[in-house]
Amino acid sequence: MGASPVVVIGAGGHATVVLEIIKKTGVYEIVGYTGPVRRQPATNWDLKYLGDDSVLPFLRRQGVKLAALGVGAVGDNRLRCKLYEQVRAYGFSFPPLIHPDAAIAGDTGLADGVLVARSVVINPGVEIGSNTIVNSGAIVEHDCSLSEHVHVSPGAVLCGGVKVGRLAHVGANAVVIQGLTIGEGALVGAGSVVLHDVEPLTVVAGNPARVIKKMEERF
């Protein structure tokens, strides 16, 4: 059976990670990418620009059923959430994308659109919600639960039993100790060491992490 066709949504820096995973797995054939303007991802792959997202219904009628989100997030996951829901409304599915170099326990629950990047470690009993990124070199320990539209940044460590709420962001090289909850829409700054639960819509940073500010309603 041939590779399944997939369209990449957006061509930001995150798209280069998406493209590498798709190429390395060999499961999908990239038909091109969409975006508001022609913007070739910074790779050596010559991808076809298909137009803005108005072409998606046409692609769906042509038999393209799968999409991959090439738009990342730095501290605010709302755009990824919005694009994911819009593209799903056209009838596309988002397959999980797992880098071959990631080490993932066999019982890991991976929802639609999850991306697991190079050198990630995910231990047993973990559940990861839709459209969540576990970025390069992150460690997700046993029995963690990540909700939808979460970003666990490069090198971050979630110790056992951590729960991360919808739209939350865990910054690069941050450490969250065992059993804590990161609330919905919260942001953990890069390099932070989190020793207490983080309330929803709260920014924390530092070692130990302290509250920096509360944010406006975002969901």
Task: Assign residue 204 the CATH number of its domain.
Answer: 2.160.10.10
* Domains contained in the chain, number: 2
The answer on 43 and 79 residing in a single domain is: yes
Q: Is there a single domain that holds both residue 82 and residue 101?
A: no
DSSP states of 11-37: -SHHHHHHHHHHHHH--EEEEEEE-SS
Q: Is the predicted pLDDT of residue 219 greater than 60, yes or no?
A: no
- Same domain flag for 75 and 120: no
Confidence grade of residue 73 (pLDDT, cut at 50, 70, 90) = confident
This prediction's pTM: 0.93
Residue 205, pLDDT score = 98
What pLDDT is attached to residue 76? 86
The domain that holds 66 is classified in CATH as: 3.40.50.20
**Confidence band for 1, pLDDT divided at 50, 70 and 90:** low
Which pLDDT belongs to residue 218?
A: 55
Average predicted confidence (pLDDT) for the chain: 93
Residue 41 has pLDDT above 70, yes or no: no
pLDDT for residue 165 is more than 60: yes
Check residues 97 and 46 and name the one with the higher pLDDT.
97
> Is 98 a residue whose pLDDT tops 70?
yes
Q: 55 and 80, same structural domain? A: yes
**Residue 19 to residues 12, 47, 98, 102, 177: CA-CA distances in angstroms?**
11, 10, 11, 16, 33
* Residue 146 and residue 81 share a domain: no
pLDDT at 87 over 80: yes
The reply to whether 78 and 169 lie within a common domain is: no
pLDDT for residue 42:
57
What token pair was written down for 141?
Answer: 């320990």
Q: Which CA distances in Å does 162 have to 35, 143, 159, 197?
A: 35, 7, 6, 10
Q: What is the pLDDT of residue 44?
A: 59
**Domain end position, chosen among 44, 69, 89:** 89
Quick one: DSSP state of residue 109?
E
At 4 the pLDDT is 93
Do 58 and 77 fall within a single domain?
yes
Digit-coded pLDDT (tens) for 137-156? 999 999 999 999 999 999 99
Same domain, 61 and 135: no
Last residue of a domain, one of 89, 117, 134: 89
| Residue 216 pLDDT | 76
State yes or no: pLDDT of 45 exceeds 70: no
Across 175-213, b (16+ Cβ under 10 Å) vs e yields bbbeebbbbbbbbbbebbebeeebbbbbbbbeeebeeee
Q: Domain containing 9: what range?
A: 4-89
DSSP H or E run through 88? helix 78-89
Classify residue 219: in a domain, yes or no.
Answer: no
Give the pLDDT confidence of 47-72 residue by residue, as tens digits.
888 999 899 999 999 999 999 999 88
- Please name which of 176, 173, 168 lies closest in space to residue 137, comparing C-alpha atoms: 173
Same domain, 119 and 29: no
Residue 133 sits in the same domain as residue 207:
yes
